[in-house]
Amino acid sequence: MIGVTVSEIRAKEDAQRVRHGEPTQTEMTLGLSYMRAIERAGGLPVALPPLTSENVDPLLDRLSGLLLTGGPDLDPACYGAEPHPELGPIDHDVDVFEIALCRRADRRGIPILGICRGAQVLNVARQGSLIQHLPDTISATIEHRQPEPGDRTTHEVRVAPDSGLAQTTGGGPVQVNSFHHQAIDRLGVGLRPVAWAQDGVIEAVETVEGQEGHFVLGVQWHAETLIDEAEQLALFERLVQAAALTEPKLSQADLTTQQSIGEQEAEDSGAHAV
Protein backbone atom coordinates (compact mmCIF):
# COMPACT_ATOMS: atom_id res chain seq x y z
CA MET A 1 0.00 0.00 0.00
CA ILE A 2 1.71 3.18 -1.24
CA GLY A 3 0.48 6.56 0.01
CA VAL A 4 0.49 9.24 -2.71
CA THR A 5 0.42 12.88 -1.63
CA VAL A 6 -1.99 15.38 -3.20
CA SER A 7 -0.21 18.74 -3.13
CA GLU A 8 -2.50 20.87 -5.29
CA ILE A 9 -5.69 22.21 -3.75
CA ARG A 10 -8.09 24.01 -6.09
CA ALA A 11 -10.41 26.65 -4.63
CA LYS A 12 -14.10 26.16 -5.34
CA GLU A 13 -14.10 29.42 -7.31
CA ASP A 14 -11.62 27.84 -9.73
CA ALA A 15 -13.34 24.46 -9.94
CA GLN A 16 -15.22 23.62 -13.12
CA ARG A 17 -18.98 23.22 -12.77
CA VAL A 18 -20.15 19.96 -14.33
CA ARG A 19 -23.60 19.86 -15.91
CA HIS A 20 -25.94 17.88 -13.63
CA GLY A 21 -23.07 17.49 -11.17
CA GLU A 22 -22.77 18.60 -7.57
CA PRO A 23 -22.05 22.23 -6.61
CA THR A 24 -18.43 23.32 -6.90
CA GLN A 25 -16.28 23.00 -3.80
CA THR A 26 -12.62 23.04 -2.85
CA GLU A 27 -10.95 20.11 -4.63
CA MET A 28 -7.77 18.03 -4.50
CA THR A 29 -6.01 17.74 -7.86
CA LEU A 30 -3.69 14.84 -8.70
CA GLY A 31 -2.56 13.47 -12.05
CA LEU A 32 -3.60 9.85 -12.54
CA SER A 33 -0.17 9.11 -14.00
CA TYR A 34 1.23 8.81 -10.45
CA MET A 35 -1.37 6.21 -9.54
CA ARG A 36 -0.88 4.31 -12.79
CA ALA A 37 2.89 4.22 -12.26
CA ILE A 38 2.50 2.67 -8.79
CA GLU A 39 -0.08 0.19 -10.06
CA ARG A 40 2.10 -0.82 -13.01
CA ALA A 41 5.02 -1.31 -10.64
CA GLY A 42 2.96 -3.78 -8.61
CA GLY A 43 1.77 -1.56 -5.76
CA LEU A 44 -1.60 -0.31 -4.56
CA PRO A 45 -1.74 3.52 -4.62
CA VAL A 46 -3.84 5.47 -2.12
CA ALA A 47 -4.30 9.25 -2.43
CA LEU A 48 -3.45 11.14 0.77
CA PRO A 49 -5.38 14.34 1.47
CA PRO A 50 -3.63 17.03 3.52
CA LEU A 51 -4.83 16.27 7.05
CA THR A 52 -4.11 17.80 10.45
CA SER A 53 -0.87 16.84 12.17
CA GLU A 54 -2.50 14.54 14.74
CA ASN A 55 -3.65 12.26 11.91
CA VAL A 56 -0.23 11.77 10.32
CA ASP A 57 0.78 8.78 12.45
CA PRO A 58 -2.54 6.91 12.16
CA LEU A 59 -2.29 7.41 8.41
CA LEU A 60 1.25 6.02 8.28
CA ASP A 61 0.16 3.01 10.34
CA ARG A 62 -1.58 1.68 7.22
CA LEU A 63 1.15 2.41 4.66
CA SER A 64 4.20 0.50 3.46
CA GLY A 65 5.61 3.22 1.19
CA LEU A 66 5.27 6.92 0.39
CA LEU A 67 5.28 8.75 -2.94
CA LEU A 68 5.75 12.53 -2.66
CA THR A 69 4.33 13.99 -5.86
CA GLY A 70 4.85 17.14 -7.90
CA GLY A 71 2.85 20.30 -7.41
CA PRO A 72 3.14 24.00 -6.52
CA ASP A 73 6.11 25.81 -4.99
CA LEU A 74 6.92 25.28 -1.32
CA ASP A 75 6.44 28.17 1.09
CA PRO A 76 9.98 29.57 1.64
CA ALA A 77 9.08 30.05 5.32
CA CYS A 78 9.39 26.26 5.63
CA TYR A 79 13.15 26.60 5.12
CA GLY A 80 13.66 30.03 6.66
CA ALA A 81 13.76 32.17 3.50
CA GLU A 82 11.93 35.23 2.27
CA PRO A 83 9.70 34.81 -0.81
CA HIS A 84 11.19 35.51 -4.23
CA PRO A 85 9.23 37.79 -6.61
CA GLU A 86 8.84 34.82 -9.01
CA LEU A 87 7.42 32.53 -6.33
CA GLY A 88 4.29 30.75 -7.56
CA PRO A 89 1.09 30.10 -5.58
CA ILE A 90 1.72 28.35 -2.26
CA ASP A 91 -0.35 26.55 0.36
CA HIS A 92 1.41 26.64 3.71
CA ASP A 93 -0.92 24.12 5.37
CA VAL A 94 -0.27 21.53 2.65
CA ASP A 95 3.48 22.10 2.97
CA VAL A 96 3.41 21.64 6.74
CA PHE A 97 1.43 18.40 6.39
CA GLU A 98 3.70 16.91 3.72
CA ILE A 99 6.89 17.83 5.57
CA ALA A 100 5.52 16.23 8.76
CA LEU A 101 4.41 13.18 6.78
CA CYS A 102 7.86 12.83 5.22
CA ARG A 103 9.71 13.26 8.51
CA ARG A 104 7.61 10.71 10.38
CA ALA A 105 7.73 8.20 7.51
CA ASP A 106 11.49 8.68 7.48
CA ARG A 107 11.75 7.97 11.21
CA ARG A 108 9.68 4.81 10.80
CA GLY A 109 11.92 3.53 8.00
CA ILE A 110 9.11 3.69 5.42
CA PRO A 111 10.50 3.78 1.84
CA ILE A 112 10.11 7.20 0.18
CA LEU A 113 10.24 8.34 -3.44
CA GLY A 114 9.96 12.07 -4.21
CA ILE A 115 9.04 13.40 -7.67
CA CYS A 116 9.85 17.04 -8.62
CA ARG A 117 8.23 19.04 -5.77
CA GLY A 118 8.37 15.78 -3.81
CA ALA A 119 12.17 15.73 -4.04
CA GLN A 120 12.16 19.30 -2.74
CA VAL A 121 9.83 18.37 0.14
CA LEU A 122 12.20 15.53 1.02
CA ASN A 123 15.16 17.92 1.08
CA VAL A 124 13.34 20.56 3.18
CA ALA A 125 12.02 17.88 5.57
CA ARG A 126 15.66 17.06 6.27
CA GLN A 127 16.48 20.73 6.94
CA GLY A 128 17.71 21.59 3.48
CA SER A 129 16.81 24.64 1.36
CA LEU A 130 15.78 25.48 -2.19
CA ILE A 131 16.80 27.77 -5.03
CA GLN A 132 13.58 29.72 -5.51
CA HIS A 133 14.05 30.73 -9.15
CA LEU A 134 16.63 28.96 -11.31
CA PRO A 135 16.96 31.62 -14.04
CA ASP A 136 18.52 33.91 -11.42
CA THR A 137 21.33 31.49 -10.63
CA ILE A 138 22.22 29.55 -13.78
CA SER A 139 22.85 30.22 -17.45
CA ALA A 140 20.06 29.44 -19.89
CA THR A 141 21.77 26.40 -21.44
CA ILE A 142 18.91 24.09 -20.41
CA GLU A 143 15.19 24.81 -20.35
CA HIS A 144 14.09 23.48 -16.96
CA ARG A 145 10.45 24.22 -17.68
CA GLN A 146 9.95 22.63 -21.05
CA PRO A 147 7.07 23.53 -23.41
CA GLU A 148 6.90 19.94 -24.70
CA PRO A 149 4.43 17.42 -23.18
CA GLY A 150 5.39 15.36 -20.15
CA ASP A 151 5.98 12.18 -22.13
CA ARG A 152 8.85 13.86 -24.01
CA THR A 153 12.40 14.05 -22.68
CA THR A 154 14.36 17.24 -23.30
CA HIS A 155 17.72 16.89 -21.58
CA GLU A 156 20.15 14.43 -20.06
CA VAL A 157 21.25 13.95 -16.46
CA ARG A 158 24.54 12.49 -15.33
CA VAL A 159 24.16 9.81 -12.64
CA ALA A 160 26.79 9.01 -10.00
CA PRO A 161 28.01 5.49 -10.82
CA ASP A 162 28.30 4.50 -7.15
CA SER A 163 24.71 5.43 -6.33
CA GLY A 164 21.58 3.46 -5.65
CA LEU A 165 19.98 5.47 -8.45
CA ALA A 166 22.54 4.08 -10.92
CA GLN A 167 21.79 0.54 -9.73
CA THR A 168 18.08 1.20 -10.25
CA THR A 169 18.29 2.78 -13.70
CA GLY A 170 21.06 0.54 -15.02
CA GLY A 171 23.87 3.09 -14.82
CA GLY A 172 24.92 5.75 -17.28
CA PRO A 173 23.13 8.98 -18.17
CA VAL A 174 19.33 9.19 -18.13
CA GLN A 175 17.10 11.17 -20.48
CA VAL A 176 14.53 13.19 -18.54
CA ASN A 177 11.75 15.74 -18.87
CA SER A 178 11.76 19.01 -16.91
CA PHE A 179 8.93 21.05 -15.33
CA HIS A 180 10.38 23.16 -12.52
CA HIS A 181 11.75 26.62 -11.80
CA GLN A 182 13.07 25.72 -8.34
CA ALA A 183 15.69 23.19 -7.28
CA ILE A 184 17.64 21.86 -4.33
CA ASP A 185 20.16 24.29 -2.85
CA ARG A 186 21.55 23.38 0.59
CA LEU A 187 21.37 19.61 0.99
CA GLY A 188 19.22 18.12 3.71
CA VAL A 189 20.80 16.14 6.53
CA GLY A 190 21.88 12.68 5.41
CA LEU A 191 21.26 13.33 1.71
CA ARG A 192 23.76 13.38 -1.12
CA PRO A 193 23.37 14.47 -4.75
CA VAL A 194 23.47 11.57 -7.22
CA ALA A 195 22.40 13.16 -10.53
CA TRP A 196 23.06 16.51 -12.20
CA ALA A 197 21.94 18.39 -15.30
CA GLN A 198 24.63 19.71 -17.62
CA ASP A 199 24.28 23.16 -16.03
CA GLY A 200 25.02 21.75 -12.57
CA VAL A 201 21.46 21.70 -11.21
CA ILE A 202 20.95 18.81 -8.78
CA GLU A 203 18.52 16.37 -10.39
CA ALA A 204 18.42 13.59 -7.76
CA VAL A 205 19.28 12.98 -4.12
CA GLU A 206 19.35 9.86 -1.98
CA THR A 207 20.40 8.93 1.54
CA VAL A 208 24.09 8.62 2.27
CA GLU A 209 25.19 5.01 1.79
CA GLY A 210 25.38 3.06 5.00
CA GLN A 211 23.69 5.75 7.09
CA GLU A 212 20.13 4.47 6.81
CA GLY A 213 18.66 1.16 5.84
CA HIS A 214 15.48 2.18 4.04
CA PHE A 215 14.98 3.40 0.49
CA VAL A 216 14.89 7.22 0.20
CA LEU A 217 15.22 8.84 -3.24
CA GLY A 218 14.15 12.14 -4.77
CA VAL A 219 14.28 12.94 -8.50
CA GLN A 220 13.64 16.37 -10.00
CA TRP A 221 12.02 15.10 -13.20
CA HIS A 222 8.51 13.70 -13.71
CA ALA A 223 9.26 9.99 -14.04
CA GLU A 224 5.58 9.08 -13.72
CA THR A 225 4.89 10.29 -17.29
CA LEU A 226 7.85 8.33 -18.71
CA ILE A 227 7.15 4.81 -17.42
CA ASP A 228 7.21 3.29 -20.91
CA GLU A 229 10.98 3.61 -20.48
CA ALA A 230 12.38 0.77 -18.35
CA GLU A 231 14.74 2.98 -16.33
CA GLN A 232 11.87 5.29 -15.35
CA LEU A 233 9.45 2.52 -14.37
CA ALA A 234 12.30 1.00 -12.34
CA LEU A 235 12.10 3.92 -9.89
CA PHE A 236 8.55 2.95 -8.95
CA GLU A 237 9.39 -0.75 -8.96
CA ARG A 238 12.21 -0.06 -6.50
CA LEU A 239 9.80 1.80 -4.22
CA VAL A 240 7.23 -1.01 -4.36
CA GLN A 241 9.88 -3.69 -3.78
CA ALA A 242 11.19 -1.82 -0.75
CA ALA A 243 7.64 -1.31 0.50
CA ALA A 244 6.97 -5.05 0.24
CA LEU A 245 9.60 -5.52 2.97
CA THR A 246 7.92 -2.94 5.21
CA GLU A 247 5.04 -4.17 7.35
CA PRO A 248 2.52 -1.52 8.50
CA LYS A 249 2.34 -1.37 12.31
CA LEU A 250 -1.27 -2.09 13.30
CA SER A 251 -2.70 -1.11 16.67
CA GLN A 252 -4.07 -3.69 19.11
CA ALA A 253 -7.59 -2.56 18.21
CA ASP A 254 -6.86 -3.25 14.53
CA LEU A 255 -5.48 -6.70 15.34
CA THR A 256 -8.55 -7.54 17.45
CA THR A 257 -10.84 -6.39 14.64
CA GLN A 258 -8.95 -8.46 12.07
CA GLN A 259 -9.14 -11.51 14.36
CA SER A 260 -12.91 -11.05 14.78
CA ILE A 261 -13.39 -10.71 11.01
CA GLY A 262 -11.30 -13.84 10.43
CA GLU A 263 -13.34 -15.83 12.95
CA GLN A 264 -16.59 -14.65 11.38
CA GLU A 265 -15.38 -15.56 7.89
CA ALA A 266 -14.38 -19.02 9.12
CA GLU A 267 -17.79 -19.47 10.75
CA ASP A 268 -19.60 -18.35 7.59
CA SER A 269 -17.45 -20.66 5.46
CA GLY A 270 -18.25 -23.63 7.68
CA ALA A 271 -21.95 -22.86 7.63
CA HIS A 272 -22.03 -22.98 3.83
CA ALA A 273 -19.71 -25.94 3.39
CA VAL A 274 -21.14 -28.99 1.61
Length of the chain counted residue by residue = 274
Phi-psi region of 207 (alpha: psi -120 to 50; beta: other; left: phi over 0): beta
What is d(CA 145, CA 179) in angstroms, rounded to the nearest whole number?
Answer: 4
106 in Cβ contact with 112 (< 8 Å): yes
DSSP conformational letter for 10: E
Backbone angles phi, psi at 171, to 5 degrees: 85, 165
Residues annotated as catalytic (active site), given as ranges: 116, 222, 224
- Return the DSSP state at 271: H
Of 48, 16, 12, the residue nearest 27 (C-alpha) = 12
